[in-house]
Structure 1
Amino acid sequence: MSSDSYTLWIDGELERLQGEFAQAPDKVSKAVHRAMRKLSNYAERQVLRAISRAHPITQKQLKKLRRLKVKLYTPSYGPSGNVVVNAYTLGIFVGTNEIAAHYYGKPQRMAKGVKTGRLFWQGAFIVPRLTGDGAQVFQRKKEWRHRYVRSRRQGRMMWMGLPIKLEKNSFHDDAARALKDIEPSLEQRYITLVKQELHYAFHIES
């Protein structure tokens, strides 16, 4: 996962629902757990779809980059009996560090730059990878000079650096906007699933 992230928490009206069915806490707990597990799968599909609509990257690449993590937190207690997690909570974490150009599609050399997927990089050029298959997209730095730094390999101070930079695209704003847009639908789906599972537990199972 990237170090920067946008986080969306879904909790909702479980307290009220659990209060209505307080006479059978075990049934309620199992019903809520089933609903949350279904919501986890639903949320992952919806978030991938929403981000790929908002940002020019495919769902397949998002999965490959491991930018999305959906985690279900269940009620739990620490060694001393203290509450660690006091309710079922679904956490959706999206790593939002910049994405390198070559992840948007196979680099194609154009007259005035490079195209990857739906993005065009003005003045960029293609550099084959030193290891593995494929290529990356680089751009010449407008303002550049050597830096006097310590070499990791030789351990001594040297003038180092290259007048090029790897082309990357900002991802954070599009991801945050996409999650904000689908937040109401995730909350509504959450409530619907809980009600369905409670109905099943109290009217079908019994």
Structure 2
Amino acid sequence: MTPVDASPHCLVRSEVPFGQEPLTFETLWPVNDGGILQQPTQAVAGRDIAQCPGTLPAEPSCHEPPWTGLAPDDFFIASGSRRLVEGSITADPRAGPGGARGSPRATPTPAVVEQSVDFAALEFAAGDRRRVGEFLEDAATRCANAAPAVIGGRFAMVGRVPSHYRAGSAQIVVVTDPRGAVWLVVDGTSTVARSDRDRIVTAAADRLLPD
């Protein structure tokens, strides 16, 4: 007799299909169509999501964004979201066409100039009933010393997290609205200029936040 799986199907994880990536090199660096794109992954609510309990912590855990201290699946369930997309994209902003797709991020050398964007985007199921946006903004303030800003006409929280490339820090930007939330780590072999950061965040938020 075949055993019956009685555990609830809370969520389904998969790669975003090739060609449906929410961000591309051209999106973030208009003069560049090459670099390293790690195929984004997605989590979508499973058929039994209503049976899967989960709550956000009362206090942030300042280890790494999104600062919940929860396992990824537990965070998705606690957020009450319909979909979560995560990915990373890296390019030399000076370069022209070319580059590799799907390769691990290489350790930069002094001759290399790289900028990278690690991104995550939540699409809420029915408004932000779990107050995820409020949690993220508070956590960014407390864990990344974030301050409010307006980028591309959107309210944002801008803070600092450790850089992948150097001894300094990278910039983290959290953008929320009633439909979803986005957080992006904008990093590079040197500090990314404010104008470049704002252009990248504006382009990313336009594509990552639900219509």
Q: TM-score, normalised by structure 2?
A: 0.23
For CA contacts below 8 A with separation 6 or more, give which structure has more relative contact order: 1
Q: Work out which of the two has the higher radius of gyration on C-alpha atoms and give 1 or 2.
A: 1
* TM norm structure 1: 0.24
